[in-house]
């Protein structure tokens, strides 16, 4: 609930560029933490749902649509091995990985906020590669 503590934690997961860690971002996390039921929710967020959430998410994806996994490899919370696991579960669930591409970004937990330029470049590259494969 303390903004200075929240800011410190956020900065720790933005190892490349923490310039986007501002009062607005801190408040967007602090505000829900002040809700009386926050103490019931935060442990669920931290603990997760014992691996079922990712499996459920993957099973809901259409296997004929491309997926870009833009991974911040410097994320201190969710290590690259988790991306490996995502790909493994995707392959087991879909029977292939033809439509799945992983882009390892030199960024932390929120690459789209920490390093938007490299994230956008990765998305644009992926889109151009996907577009070249589409039979118009």
Residue 45: enclosing H or E segment and its boundaries?
A: helix 38-47
Measured CA to CA in angstroms, residue 78 lies from 14, 33, 54, 75 at distances of 13, 22, 13, 6
pLDDT tens-digit profile of 35-46? 888 888 777 766
Closest to 103 measured CA to CA, from 132, 53, 86, 76: 86
pLDDT tens-digit profile of 59-111? 888 888 889 999 999 999 999 998 998 899 889 888 888 888 999 999 999 99
Residue 41 is predicted with a pLDDT of 76
How far is it, in rounded angstroms, from Cα 110 to Cα 98?
A: 26
pTM of the full structure: 0.80
Q: Other C-beta atoms within 10 Å of 10: how many? A: 21
Residue 134 is predicted with a pLDDT of 61
Residue 51 is predicted with a pLDDT of 53
Residue 136 is predicted with a pLDDT of 47
């Amino acid at each position: 609930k303390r903004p200075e503590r929240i800011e410190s934690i956020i900065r720790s997961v933005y190892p490349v560029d923490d310039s986007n860690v501002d009062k607005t971002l801190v408040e967007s996390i602090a505000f829900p933490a002040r809700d009386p039921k926050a103490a019931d929710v935060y442990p669920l967020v931290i603990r997760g749902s014992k691996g079922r959430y990712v499996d459920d998410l993957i099973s809901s994806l259409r296997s004929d649509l491309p997926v870009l996994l833009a991974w911040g490899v410097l994320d201190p919370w969710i290590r690259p091995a988790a991306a490996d696991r995502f790909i493994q579960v995707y392959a087991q669930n879909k029977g292939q990985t033809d439509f799945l591409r992983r882009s390892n970004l030199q960024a932390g937990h929120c690459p789209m906020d920490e390093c938007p330029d490299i994230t956008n470049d990765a998305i644009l590259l992926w889109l151009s590669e996907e577009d070249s494969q589409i039979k118009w």
